[in-house]
Amino acid sequence: MCLALPAKILAIDEATDMATVALGEVKKAVSIALLEEVAIGDFVLIHVGYALNKIDPEEAERTLAAFAEAGLSAEASL
């Protein structure tokens, strides 16, 4: 089963198409090469080191809340 996690973009390096994202306290560098337009503060779905698409903040919060309600730690999967 594949799982894409919502994470918030903290920094962008346009020269390398990489971004630093955060999911809770966890920070990770991911590729944004698959996305046309992202900005600091955007939420993106992350899977195996790639940002797959941008999602709205409300959807990200609902998804993170569902993880918490199920007792899953999304941070451990990043």
Q: For 12-65, what is each residue's pLDDT tens digit?
A: 999 999 999 998 889 999 999 999 999 999 999 999 999 999 999 999 999 888
User: What pLDDT, on a 0 to 100 scale, did the predictor assign at position 49?
Assistant: 94
Residue spans per domain, the chain: 5-77
Residues 5 and 26: their CA atoms lie apart, in Å, by 12
Place of tokens 């944004």: 32
Structural fold of domain 5-77? SH3 type barrels. (2.30.30)
Higher pLDDT, residue 31 or 66:
31
Residue 16 and residue 49 in contact, taking contact as beta carbons nearer than 8 Å: no
Higher pLDDT, residue 47 or 72:
47
Mean pLDDT over residues 60-76, rounded? 77
**Quick one: which of 32, 31, 12, 10 has its CA closest to 21?**
10
pTM: 0.84
